[in-house]
Amino acid sequence: MKRYEDLSPSLRCIMTPGPVEVDPRVLRAMSYPVLGQFDPEFTELMNETMEMLRGLFATSNKWAYPVDGTSRSGIEAVMVSLIAPGDRVLIPVFGRFGHLLHEIAERCGAEVFTIEQTWGSVFPPEEVIAAIRSFKPDVVAMVHGETSTGRVQPLAEIGRACREQEALLIVDAVATIGGVPVETDAWMLDAVVGGTQKCLSIPSGMAPITYNDRAEAKLLKRKQVERGLRSGAGTASELPVVRSNYFDLGMLQDYWSPRRLNHHTEMTSMLYALREGLRLVLEEGLEARHDRHRFHERALIAGLTAMGLELYGDAESKLTVVTCVRIPAGIDGESVRSMLLGRFGIEIASSFGPLQGLIWRIGTMGFSCRENNVLRLLGALEAVLVRHGYAVAAGEGVQAALDVYESNVR
C-alpha cells in the first residue's frame, strides 16, 4: 500500500495579483471548532459578517453577504440572478475579465453589446456613457480593477449615467476591494462582487457581494422557493426564474435573512476566515489600508525603474495593487519567474492573451503588501536578471525602494 507523507507546503513570498499570502490570524481562525449552521452562535457570526461587509463596500445596502465559492462564483451568481433571458446587456471590455463577463452574460441568454478598449488603457467615462445612451441596456457589467493589464476603471460618472437611464450596474471589484477605494453608494453601483484571495488576504473560497434595492426588486420578480422547502403551492414569478439553483440570489438572501430558509450547508471555517479578515481590514481602517497599498506601490515602482525596467500601460489608470513590467528584449520571462520561485521562493505572475510572454505582473496586495516582501523581490529580481545576462546597476533597485521607505511619506 502506498504511503503518503504529511502535508507540508513550502513557505512562499507570493507577489502575484492573487492569490496572496494569508494573514496568520486568518489561518488561526480557520482552525476553530465547527459550529452547526443554525446554531445561534453561528448565525450571530453571519450577522456580524454582514455588518462588516457593509463597511467594506461603503454601503448602507441591506444585502451584503458571501457566496460560497471562488470569486467567479460571486460574479456568476450576481449576473445569472440579475440578467434575465432577452435582457440587453452592455459590457465595456479592457482586459481578460471583461471578456469573462461577456461570456457569462451570453450564457444567461442576454443580447450582449460590447465596446472594447486597447489593453493597457481604460475607458474615458464619456465613451461608456455614450454607449449606454445609444444601446439602452437593461444591465451594464464592468470590471473595476483589471488584473490582466494592471488598470483601474473610474466608475462614478458611469454609475450616475446608469441610474439616469434606469440600467442596473454590476461591478467586478474582485481585485480592488480592501486595497483600492470602492464606493458602492457614492458611485451608485447596484451590485458589486469582491474577492477574498486578493487584497483581503483570505484563502479563495468565498465571494463577498452586495446589492441595493433596485437590484433586489428584479430578484423578487424572479423569486422561487425550492420545491422541497415549500409549505404550500409555489407562486409564479413575474420574470423567468433564475437558471441556477446554487447561484440564485433570491434563495441565498432568504438563507442570510432572519428567515434562515435553508439553501446549502454553509462553509463554516471559511466564514470564520472571512469574518477575521474583515475584522482586520476594519481595524486597520480603509483609508489607512489604501494609503499602505499606495506607499508600497511607490517603493516597488521606484525600485523597478531604478533597475532600468519599463512599466507597461497607461500610467494615469494604473491599478495600485498590480504593477505590470515589460519583459526586457532577449530575456526569457518564464525562465526568470522559474528561477525566482525555485531559488528565492518568490512568485510573480505572467499574463494572458495578447500580453502572454510580454509582461510580468507583480501584486502588492493585502498581507503580501509589506516592506520586507518588496525589498526581497527587488533584490532577487536583480540577481536573477544578472544571471540571465541583463545589465543591471548593482543595488540600485533596492536602494531606490529604501529611499522611499526611509522618507516615510505616505
The C-alpha angle with vertex 71 and arms to 276 and 130, in degrees rounded to 5, equals: 120
Q: Is the peptide bond prior to 19 cis by the omega test (within 30 degrees of 0)?
A: yes
Rounded CA separation 292/370 (Å): 8
Tell me, yes or no, whether 217 and 319 share the same domain: no
Helix, strand, coil shares of the chain as percentages rounded to 5?
45, 15, 45
Tell me, yes or no, whether 144 and 220 share the same domain: yes
Tell me, yes or no, whether 253 and 113 share the same domain: yes
Tell me, yes or no, whether 193 and 325 share the same domain: no
- Among 231, 260, 281, residue at a domain's last position: 281
Tell me, yes or no, whether 268 and 294 share the same domain: no
Tell me, yes or no, whether 274 and 293 share the same domain: no
Rounded CA separation 351/311 (Å): 14
Tell me, yes or no, whether 187 and 297 share the same domain: no
Report pLDDT digits (tens) over 219-232.
999 988 888 887 76
pTM of the model: 0.96
User: CA dihedral defined by 69, 71, 77, 78, rounded to 10 degrees?
Assistant: 150
CATH code, domain with 80: 3.40.640.10
CATH code, domain with 392: 3.90.1150.10
Q: What domain count does the chain have? A: 2
User: Residue 228: which domain range?
Assistant: 22-281
Tell me, yes or no, whether 343 and 269 share the same domain: no
- Among 246, 264, 281, residue at a domain's last position: 281
Report pLDDT digits (tens) over 256-270.
999 998 888 899 999
Average pLDDT per run of 10 along the chain, which is 410 residues long? Answer: 92 97 98 95 97 98 98 98 98 98 98 98 98 98 98 98 98 98 98 98 97 97 85 74 94 94 91 98 98 98 97 98 98 98 98 94 98 98 97 93 90
Tell me, yes or no, whether 152 and 255 share the same domain: yes
In-domain check, residue 199: yes
Q: Is 277 helix (H, G, I), strand (E, B) or coil?
A: helix
- Pairing relationship of beta strands 168-172 and 191-193 according to DSSP bridges: parallel
Tell me, yes or no, whether 204 and 81 share the same domain: yes
In-domain check, residue 82: yes
- Among 281, 307, 326, residue at a domain's last position: 281
